[in-house]
């Protein structure tokens, strides 16, 4: 095939005489190139030469009717059919392989035909001119390459001389004059064919040099394109990173704003909490100190007992307030940790139930207290923080007892997947709709029907909700004024031992 790189191929890389390239690869490629560029012109040349060869037969008819048979035989039986055969053959693939030797023979045969005519009629200049035409066609027209064309031309000259000397009516002058013309024509032909082939070969090299340069340029372009692609990719990536960084900073900024707002909010809440707390503490403290001062002035034993009772109640209230506050501050300080253990849930509900059977509110108001276990096994072992769960239950059931004057209180649980759902229902005083959403905030106390037996800290539900959140659960309330309330909460648990049929 064609050599890839032609940049090194110079004019010197070919033989000065045969004009062949030293590199056989290049020579083969040139032959292909030359054939592709020439075969159509060669084909047309054969057709035209055949026509001219036939047309000149008319001259035979006019000038040499006595040799018409021989001459026309040469023309129409040998040369013209040969020319036409080559013309026809040029349409087939095989032509590419044999075209140069073939047209070499055509040159010689056509030349020989005319040579014979010259030998028969040595004094007729028409045929000498005919041979000149054959030289012209052979050297420049039929695309025979320089070397073969030169050999064919010289062979024709040689044949002429041999035939003229041995068979013709020998007129050396005539032969000499003809030779002069023929040799001149052959020299001109050789010169023309030589230069034309050199320029063909140079063109061939040039074309392939250009092709090779183009290839180089294409490779460089490809490399550049790849580089540009890589750079673009890098730029895009950097852009994306920058955008991500910007987004990260924006979120960070927003987080900071939120954190700042939260800090401000919590600062406000803390101030409010402190104000509230001092108020809440001062009330029972005032009660204790006030009634302690009055003790000496009590006029009867009953009055003294009443004062002592008030002091004890206020003391208890103060204690539970301080306990709640301590719990809250532990939560806020992050000291309070959830510690899970496995225990029997049914034992816990039983314990809580028994505890509230003794509750003064339940006893005094004759409330019906009941509970229902969602899992009725003897044992239902779960894993969660037992202490916190008990505290939560006590807070909610204690509220139910506090805020129910008559009727019943029922608490129950059920298991949904790996969640424990508790419900505490009462038929108590209920909570107005507009207050329900603030119920779990600190110091939230609904100011309705508050009696001494309903004294509270307003912290119980806030603590309850915080505990539940810490344990991954939550709480909500459904309540209707004067009809009752339902507090329901859930928390995730691990179930250790359970008879599944009873769930």
DSSP H helices in 56-171: 57-63, 68-72, 80-89, 94-120, 125-136, 146-166
When asked if residue 314 is in the footprint of ligand ADP (CB under 6 A), the reply is: no
Looking at beta carbons only, is 128 or 464 nearer to ligand ADP? Answer: 464
Q: Which is nearer to ligand ADP, 147 or 396 (CB)?
A: 396
Q: Which is nearer to ligand ADP, 384 or 485 (CB)?
A: 485
CA angle 144, 149, 150 (to 5 degrees): 160
Interface positions, 46-85, toward ligand ADP (CB under 6 A): none
Phi first, then psi, for residue 418 (nearest 5°) are -110, 35
Question: In the complex, what is the shortest distance from the CB of residue 408 to ligand ADP, in angstroms, rounded to a whole number?
Answer: 12
Nearest residue (CB) to ligand ADP, 100 versus 485? 485
**Structure-token match 């207290």, residue found:** 369
SS3 342: strand
Question: Interacting stretch for ligand ADP, rule CB under 6 A, among 154-162, 188-196, 305-313, 451-459?
Answer: 451-459
Task: Report the residue number, 204 or 467, with the smaller CB distance to ligand ADP.
Answer: 467
- Could you tell me if 443 and 458 are in contact, meaning their C-beta atoms sit under 8 angstroms apart? yes
Taking CB under 6 A as the criterion, the residue among 127, 460, 489, 490 binding ligand ADP is 460
Closest CA to 489 of 408, 397, 351: 397
Q: Which of 439, 468, 475, 495 is in the footprint of ligand ADP by CB under 6 A?
A: 439
Sheet containing strand 484-492, strands side by side: 368-372, 408-416, 419-426, 484-492, 474-480
Question: Are 141 and 49 in contact, with CB atoms under 8 Å apart?
Answer: yes
457 binding ligand ADP? (CB under 6 A)? yes
Other CB atoms closer than 10 Å to residue 96's CB: what's the count? Answer: 14
121 φ/ψ angles, rounded to the nearest 5 degrees: -120, 70
Shortest distance (Å) from residue 410 CB to ligand ADP: 12
Distances (CA, A) of 80 to 102, 314, 322: 14, 143, 133
Report the distance separating Cα 335 and Cα 448, nearest Å. 35
Q: Looking at 310, 336, 400, 495, which residue binds ligand ADP (CB under 6 A)?
A: 400
- Shortest Å, Cβ 327 to ligand ADP: 12
- Does position 426 interact with ligand ADP (CB under 6 A)? The reply is yes
Q: Does 444 bind ligand ADP (CB under 6 A)?
A: yes
Q: Quote the CA–CA distance of 145 and 189 in Å, as a whole number.
A: 11
Q: How far apart are CA 378 and CA 375, in angstroms?
A: 9
Scanning 22-30, 282-290, 363-371, 455-463 for contacts with ligand ADP by CB under 6 A, the matching segment is 455-463
21-29, 50-58, 181-189, 399-407 -> range binding ligand ADP (CB under 6 A) = 399-407
Question: For ligand ADP, which residue of 132, 134, 389, 431 counts as binding (CB under 6 A)?
Answer: 431
Instruction: Provide the minimum distance between the beta carbon of 279 and ligand ADP in the complex, in angstroms, as a whole number.
Output: 14
Strand order in the sheet with 341-344: 341-344, 381-384, 494-497
Rounded Cα distance between 367 and 382, Å, is: 30
Measured from the CB atom, the residue of 125 and 353 that comes closer to ligand ADP is 353
Binding region for ligand ADP (CB under 6 A) out of 74-82, 245-253, 361-369, 428-436: 428-436
**At a CB cut-off of 8 Å and minimum separation 6, what does 385 contact?**
338, 339, 340, 341, 471
Q: Of 173 and 451, which CB lies nearer to ligand ADP in the complex structure?
A: 451
Of positions 38, 63, 209, 445, contacts ligand ADP by CB under 6 A: 445
Give whole-number Cα distances, 23 to 1, 3, 4, 18, 38, in Å. Answer: 11, 9, 13, 13, 22
Smallest gap from residue 402 Cβ to ligand ADP (A): 6
Q: Using the rule CB under 6 A, is 429 a contact of ligand ADP?
A: yes
For ligand ADP, which residue of 420, 485, 490, 495 counts as binding (CB under 6 A)?
485
Reported as half-sphere exposure (CB side, CA atoms, 13 A), residue 401 has a value of 25
What's the half-sphere exposure (Cβ side, CA atoms, 13 Å) at 203? 10
Count residues near ligand ADP (CB under 6 A). Answer: 20
Asked if 142 interacts with ligand ADP (CB under 6 A), we say no
Residue 277: count of CB within 10 angstroms of its CB: 20
Instruction: Kindly identify the residues of this chain, within the stretch 319-358, that bind ligand ADP according to CB under 6 A.
Output: none
Which residue, 153 or 430, has its beta carbon nearer to ligand ADP? Answer: 430
Choices 207-215, 229-237, 441-449, 495-503 (CB under 6 A): range interacting with ligand ADP: 441-449
Q: Which listed range, 28-36, 243-251, 339-347, 396-404, lies at the site for ligand ADP (CB under 6 A)? A: 396-404
Task: Tell the smallest beta-carbon distance from residue 397 to ligand ADP (Å).
Answer: 9
Cβ pair 115, 131 in contact under 8 A: yes
Let me know how many helices (H) and strands (E) the chain has, helices first.
14, 8
- DSSP-derived letter for residue 141 is I
- Given the complex with ligand ADP, which of 415 and 448 has the nearer CB atom? 448
Least separation in angstroms between residue 310's CB and ligand ADP is 19
Applying CB under 6 A, which of residues 399, 420, 427, 466 lies at the interface with ligand ADP?
399
427 binds ligand ADP (CB under 6 A): no
CB 141 within 8 A of CB 51: no
Binding region for ligand ADP (CB under 6 A): 399-400, 403, 426, 428-431, 439, 444-446, 456-462, 485
């Amino acid at each position: 095939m064609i050599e890839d790189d032609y940049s090194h191929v110079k004019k010197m890389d070919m033989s000065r005489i045969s004009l062949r390239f030293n590199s056989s690869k290049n020579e083969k490629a040139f032959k292909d190139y030359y054939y592709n560029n020439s075969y159509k012109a060669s084909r047309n040349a054969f057709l035209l030469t055949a026509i001219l060869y036939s047309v000149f037969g008319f001259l035979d008819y006019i000038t040499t009717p006595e040799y018409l048979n021989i001459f026309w035989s040469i023309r129409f039986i040998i040369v013209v059919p040969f020319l036409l055969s080559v013309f026809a053959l040029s349409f087939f693939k095989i032509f590419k392989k044999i075209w140069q030797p073939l047209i070499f023979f055509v040159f010689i045969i056509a030349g020989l035909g005319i040579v014979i005519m010259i030998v028969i009629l040595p004094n007729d200049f028409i045929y000498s001119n005919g041979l000149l035409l054959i030289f012209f066609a052979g050297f420049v027209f039929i695309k025979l390459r320089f070397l073969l064309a030169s050999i064919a031309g010289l062979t024709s000259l040689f044949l002429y001389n041999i035939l003229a000397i041995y068979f013709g009516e020998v007129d050396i002058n005539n032969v000499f004059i003809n030779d002069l013309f023929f040799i001149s024509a052959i020299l001109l032909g050789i010169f023309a064919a030589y230069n034309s082939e050199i320029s063909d070969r140079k063109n061939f090299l040039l074309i392939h040099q250009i092709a090779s340069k183009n290839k180089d340029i294409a490779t460089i372009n490809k490399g550049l394109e790849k580089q540009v692609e890589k750079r673009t990719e890098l730029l895009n990536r950097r852009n994306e990173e920058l955008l991500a960084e910007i987004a990260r900073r924006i979120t960070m900024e927003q987080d900071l704003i939120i954190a700042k707002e939260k800090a401000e909010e919590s600062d406000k809440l803390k101030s409010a909490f402190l104000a509230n707390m001092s108020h809440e503490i001062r009330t029972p403290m005032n009660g204790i100190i006030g009634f302690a001062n009055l003790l000496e002035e009590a006029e009867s034993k009953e009055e003294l007992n009443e004062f002592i009772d008030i002091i004890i109640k206020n003391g208890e209230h103060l204690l539970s307030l301080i306990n709640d506050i301590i719990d809250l501050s532990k939560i806020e300080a992050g000291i309070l940790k959830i510690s899970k253990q496995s225990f029997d849930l049914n034992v816990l509900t039983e314990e809580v139930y028994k505890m509230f059977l003794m509750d003064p509110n339940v006893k005094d108001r004759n409330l019906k207290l009941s509970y229902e276990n969602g899992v009725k096994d003897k044992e239902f072992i779960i894993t969660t923080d037992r202490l916190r769960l008990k505290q939560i239950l006590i807070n909610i059931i204690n509220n139910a007892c506090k805020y129910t004057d008559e009727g019943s209180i029922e608490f129950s649980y059920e298991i949904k997947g790996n969640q424990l759902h508790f419900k505490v229902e009462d038929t108590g005083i209920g909570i107005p709709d507009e207050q329900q959403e603030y119920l779990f905030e600190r110091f939230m106390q609904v100011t309705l029907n508050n009696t001494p037996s309903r004294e509270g800290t307003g912290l119980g539900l806030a603590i309850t909700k915080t505990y539940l959140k810490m344990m991954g659960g939550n709480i909500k309330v459904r309540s209707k004024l004067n009809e009752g309330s339902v507090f329901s909460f859930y928390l995730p648990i691990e179930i250790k031992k359970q008879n599944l049929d009873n769930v």
